[in-house]
Amino acid sequence: MEIKRKPEWLKIKLPGGGEFRDVKRALRKYRLHTVCEEARCPNLGECWGEGTATFMILGNVCTRFCKFCATQTGNPRGIIDETEPFRVAEAVRELKLKYVVLTSVTRDDLEDQGASIYKETIRAIKNKNPDTHVEVLTPDFYAKEELIETVVKAGPDVFAHNVETVRRLTPIVRDRRFSYEKSIKTLKITKKIRPHIVTKSGFMVGLGEKEDEVFETIKDLKNAGCEILTIGQYLQPTKRHLPVERYVTLEEFQRYRDFALEMGFKYVASGPLVRSSYRAGEIFASSFLDKSGK
């Protein structure tokens, strides 16, 4: 079997620097997880070096097994930490973060799939850090309106949910309990509940999708009301995960970006190392805040 070599543009800068150490120290102090570490994000060094992180709430054990994701899977047995929202808020205060991304494992073992912990964490951050903007990157919440409403009405500035891949590949790439249609519905329900909230989604390429399927996915997300789109190269985290089918060229990423902007997205990040939360604060500030930062 031929091993595909990574192109030059996928070289990753190793983490380091004072800001990086500050973030790591705060995470350990408050016993918090980040998707940066759990998902082996290639941008960890850059983001932590700038003093930003994506907090992963609801523990670090996911009840679903997606074939692209390095997060630990298993049965958390309904265990939640009621103090977690306050520890996240304290870490945000200590690190003086102006923009925070909250994501989580999927918790099918919980009746509300963790929606109430999202709510409490958003409120705790806002109460202790009133000038901080909060983005949530959520599971599908079974596409149940009452669960999505719990999160949306807590007041996040951005609501994100990823489709992860094109429609045809969804049963192969994601856990069978996910579905492409359910993800699209989750985004539509969010806009129905709060029409002015900023919505965001993303997906990976290099998994065997065709170009027309990428264009179809972009159209579906725009029709669901999404305003921010991220498109990145799939990188195989371990040998037990799906192999990379191919490395998408920089020209293709640019073509996808141009198409999405023509469709009406307000911001599109499309490139090999782009991930859901990459430069999230910068994107929000440049696209949705006025010059006063409001």
Q: Supply the pLDDT for residue 2.
A: 46
Q: Supply the pLDDT for residue 23.
A: 72
Length of the chain: 294
Note whether residue 99 is domain-resident: yes
Q: Supply the pLDDT for residue 217.
A: 98
Note whether residue 4 is domain-resident: no
Q: Note down pLDDT in tens along the chain; length 294 residues.
A: 444 666 665 555 545 555 666 777 777 888 887 665 544 555 555 555 555 668 999 998 999 999 999 889 999 999 999 999 999 999 999 988 888 999 999 999 999 999 999 999 999 999 999 999 999 999 999 999 999 999 999 999 999 999 999 999 999 999 999 999 999 999 999 999 999 999 999 999 999 999 999 999 999 999 999 999 999 999 998 899 999 999 999 999 999 999 999 999 999 999 998 988 877 777 887 888 764 455
Q: Supply the pLDDT for residue 44.
A: 54
Please count the other Cβ atoms lying within 10 Å of the Cβ belonging to residue 145. 16
CB 85 within 8 A of CB 268: no
Note whether residue 182 is domain-resident: yes
Q: Supply the pLDDT for residue 200.
A: 97
Q: How many domains, in total, are found in the chain? A: 1
Note whether residue 6 is domain-resident: no
Domain that holds residue 182: 13-288
What CATH number should be reported for the domain holding residue 176? 3.20.20.70
CA dihedral for 29, 34, 39, 45, sign (positive or negative): negative
Note whether residue 146 is domain-resident: yes
Measure the CA–CA gap between 272 and 287, rounded to whole angstroms.
22
Measure the CA–CA gap between 10 and 271, rounded to whole angstroms.
10
Q: Supply the pLDDT for residue 268.
A: 96
